[in-house]
Amino acid sequence: MSRVSPLSQASLSLSRARYSLGPWARIVALAVCALLTLGPVIWTVSTSLRTPAQSFDLPPKIIPTHPTTEAYRGVFDQIDVWLLALNSTLVTALIAVGQMVTAGLAGYAFARLEFRFKKPLFGLVLATMMVPLQVTIVPVFLVLKSMGLTDTLLGLIVPAFPTAFGTFLMRQYFLGMPKDLGEAAMLDGAGPWRIFRSVYAPLAAPGLAIVGVLAFNYHWNEFFRPLILETSGQNYTLPLGLVSLQGNLGTGSISVVLAGVVLSMLPAVAVFVVGQRPLREGITSAGVNR
């Protein structure tokens, strides 16, 4: 890494002079993109605060003239939000934690440890991402049945612990860290466990944060697996519960449906906000080796 620094120092001083024009154009461009990205979300939130009769107004009124939280009351009246949220939280949090552990460990092994069958094993891990759920769901259900885990939350959680994507990401993360750190520790007489624990693991926080945040997002919104695996109403997760809001043959109120969508995205937003810090603090890890 040290070999890059002088070069970048040079380029930094070279382009100092042209810097003054950049930032505003950049911020405006980013703001436009952010608006495009958030547009549909804003529409969703504002529609959930409007009466159904105003829901399809054109031009769309972003700030509702008569905001009403009736739709949100509708959600709480029609479904047991608290039970659903508890189930979703349990499932998602445990999956996220589990994935961070399995992915962190396996990713490190693939990146920094030497052992036999490394390549085929890594191939096997990656291959699991390549089969759509729709193909394997019936066999998965049979496996879970043989373990007595159908229609339990554990049946949703345990199979989701191994994560091909997370393992791959963490492998790349560890590979991206300078090799000389570990080698230096080894020269100091540190064993493989110590090298992992004291040198590399502390640097992995941002990578693990990404694994955790993405796992939370994905499993929080998961629909197909819970639909197939959970049978008792007590085991439903939020996305399953929200289906009720659509009413028989799609006759539910659009405002209530969207209010449900907005409510269900709040925790995922919160997790992202919390996760921002470790994501940002990746910088500190890079600080170690300079």
Contacts (CB under 8 A) with another protein, residues 184-243: 186-187, 189, 191-193, 196, 202, 205-207, 209-210, 213-214, 217, 221, 223-224, 227-228, 231-236, 239-243
Quote the CA–CA distance of 105 and 161 in Å, as a whole number. 12
Least CB distance to another protein at residue 67 (A): 15
Total residues interacting with another protein, rule: CB under 8 A: 171
In order of 137, 163, 175, 182, the CA distances from 113 in angstroms are: 34, 19, 11, 11
Least CB distance to another protein at residue 270 (A): 10
What is the footprint of another protein within residues 132-171 (CB under 8 A)? Answer: 132, 134-143, 145, 150-154, 157-159, 161-165, 167-169
What is the footprint of another protein within residues 9-28 (CB under 8 A)? Answer: 9, 11-12, 14-15, 18-19, 21-23, 25-27
- The verdict on 130 binding another protein (CB under 8 A) reads yes
Q: Which residues contact 60 (CB under 8 A, 6 or more apart)?
A: 43, 46
Q: Which residues contact 234 (CB under 8 A, 6 or more apart)?
A: 83
Using the minimum distance from each CB to another protein, give the nearer residue, 49 or 167: 167
- The verdict on 65 binding another protein (CB under 8 A) reads no
Quote the CA–CA distance of 92 and 153 in Å, as a whole number. 10
Contact residue for another protein among 32, 52, 200, 215 (CB under 8 A) = 52
Contact residue for another protein among 73, 76, 129, 274 (CB under 8 A) = 129
Least CB distance to another protein at residue 131 (A): 5
Contact residue for another protein among 92, 173, 200, 259 (CB under 8 A) = 173
Quote the CA–CA distance of 59 and 41 in Å, as a whole number. 16
Quote the CA–CA distance of 99 and 102 in Å, as a whole number. 5
Least CB distance to another protein at residue 49 (A): 14
- Map tokens 């937003």 to a residue: 269
**Cβ proximity of 207 and 169 under 8 Å:** yes
In order of 79, 156, 262, the CA distances from 84 in angstroms are: 8, 14, 15
Least CB distance to another protein at residue 64 (A): 14
